[in-house]
Amino acid sequence: MANQPIQHVCIVSQQPDGYRRAGITLTRGENKHQVTESQLEALKADSRLTVQIVSADEGANATPHLEPGSMGSTIKLDLSNAPDELAHIIAAIHELKPSKKPTLDELAFEVDGVDGEQKPTAQQRDDAWSWYQAHIVSAE
């Protein structure tokens, strides 16, 4: 009976909809599921996810104390391997702790000696967002 659901969990994913782990397809944000012990181990081992065990009553009725974007205080970002031309954009994304790809306006910045705000191109933002999602690490 090892495959019987034994834990009610809330899984918070910062990954795009469709991300899969332990045979479960996740959406960005909260995902409530019943999982086996082996699934629970696989989910907890994934640094892109936060997993909270909830009681059966909580799993059915209550909203856990985890929200998309709330993982920001437990996320570390190492920019040592980031492309030089994207590092400042990736750092700005990390500061925002977004639950979805930020807009160009949200990533506007100022440069010494240049008048007005500067914005990354859509391609730079997309490349930085992809790099950020692939390299964030949970500090838990």
Residues 6+ apart with CB under 8 A from 4: 36
How much is the mean pLDDT over the chain? 77
Whether this model's pTM surpasses 0.85: no
The per-residue pLDDT for range 23-68, each reduced to its tens digit, is: 888 888 888 888 888 888 888 898 888 888 887 555 444 333 444 4
Q: Per-residue pLDDT averaged across 66-95, rounded?
A: 70
Cα(46)–Cα(32) distance, integer angstroms = 16
